[in-house]
Amino acid sequence: MSNALYLRRRVANMVALCMSMLATLIGLTFLAWILWETLHQGIGALNLKLFTKITAYGEDGGLANAMIGSLIINFIGIAIATPIGVMAGTWLAEYANRTKLGESIRFLNDILLSAPSIVLGLFVYTIIVLPSTAITHGSTTFSGLAGGVALALIALPVIVRTTDEMLRLVPSTLREAALSLGVPQWKLTVQILIRAARSGLITGVLLALARISGETAPLLFTAFGNNYTTFNPMDKMSSLPQMIYQYANDPGEAMHSIAWAGAFVITMFVLLLSLASRLVLSRNKVSHD
């Protein structure tokens, strides 16, 4: 190799390395800036009233109804998406792997994964809210259930993709050993493969939950919001992201402080979910080692 070619490659490598480091630094800078502003603005507004009082105008307002509504809506979304996503991902990995049908479904799942959340919210509004409005003769039937369905559509492709990838990472020798002993395919999948990939599947569910926890747009068209606490998913239901949006648009400074506090709470919730997913993966790695 000539010295000129070697030098050119060294220079190209250094330029690419510097550009990668610069891009990483820019991304981390904006992330740290967002976290600092959320922490700085939100932690000062944290108080007991935030967790005990419902929506109000003025300094006495809280987010209790929004937190309860978010928990219920997110639970509905994950409860719908998890079994469907795990079964679909299992079918893709074990029964449709390396087939044209499987690749087509993976492609469509990736499209759904990147679909704007507001589009999914409008879709649920069209198929659930509007038909139920016609049944009730004009009374618009927004509900926490409709919000949960919209969030389930957002979480579903995440769980499908994670399940598919985790099961495909299981060594093929494990499948061959079980099949050589006469284990049926369904028992191999349920009792061996899913158990081997259990930590990855749990991580996928936690990441999907983190993904839907901060969604606002789909809930504006489905759950709509409620100034009071309700536990009935068939009623209009408030959510934390929707209340942050509502308080942030209010001209009062007190409402802005509550919005920042809500943003801090939801950021910490997502952070804890991310840490929990990493903990699950690290424990699984240690046990395999």
pLDDT tens profile 109-156? 999 988 899 999 999 999 988 887 766 665 668 899 999 999 999 999
Q: What percent of the chain stands above pLDDT 70?
A: 93
CB 152 within 8 A of CB 76: yes
Selection from 50, 21, 76 nearest residue 223 by Cα = 76
- Domain 48-288 class? mainly alpha
Determine the average pLDDT of the residues in 170-176: 86
Most confident of 31-40, 67-76, 241-250, 263-272: 67-76
State the Cα–Cα distance between residues 151 and 215, nearest whole angstrom: 8
Query: What's the pLDDT score for residue 286?
Result: 52
| Mean pLDDT computed over every residue of the chain | 87
Query: What's the pLDDT score for residue 252?
Result: 78
Query: What's the pLDDT score for residue 94?
Result: 87
State the Cα–Cα distance between residues 158 and 127, nearest whole angstrom: 22
Query: What's the pLDDT score for residue 72?
Result: 95
Long-range (24+ apart) CB contacts under 8 A made by 187-195 are: 189/90, 189/94, 193/90, 193/94, 193/167, 194/86, 194/90, 194/167
Determine the average pLDDT of the residues in 211-227: 89
pLDDT tens profile 33-86? 988 988 888 887 788 888 888 876 656 678 889 999 999 999 999 999 999 999
Determine the average pLDDT of the residues in 216-245: 89
pTM reported for the whole predicted model: 0.85
pLDDT higher than threshold 60 for residue 289: no
| DSSP three-state, residue 55 | coil
Identity of the amino acid at 68: I
Query: What's the pLDDT score for residue 246?
Result: 85
State the Cα–Cα distance between residues 61 and 261, nearest whole angstrom: 12
User: Domain coordinates of the chain in residue numbers?
Assistant: 1-45, 48-288
Give me the sign of the Cα torsion angle 115, 121, 123, 128.
Answer: positive
State the Cα–Cα distance between residues 58 and 229, nearest whole angstrom: 18
Angle of CA points 124, 130, 133, to nearest 5° = 135
Query: What's the pLDDT score for residue 191?
Result: 87
144-168 vs 64-94: helix crossing angle, rounded to 10: 40
Q: What tokens does 276 get? A: 């929990």
State the Cα–Cα distance between residues 85 and 83, nearest whole angstrom: 6
Q: What tokens does 8 get? A: 């050119």
CB 121 within 8 A of CB 222: yes
DSSP code of residue 127? I
Region of 58 please: left (phi>0), alpha (psi -120 to 50) or beta: left
Q: What percent of the chain stands above pLDDT 90?
A: 37
Q: What tokens does 73 get? A: 């809506």
Distances, alpha carbon 46 to alpha carbons 52, 147, 184, 221, in Å: 12, 27, 55, 29
Burial of 54 (0-12, 13-18, 19+ CB in 10 A): middle
pLDDT higher than threshold 70 for residue 251: yes
Q: What tokens does 162 get? A: 């994670």
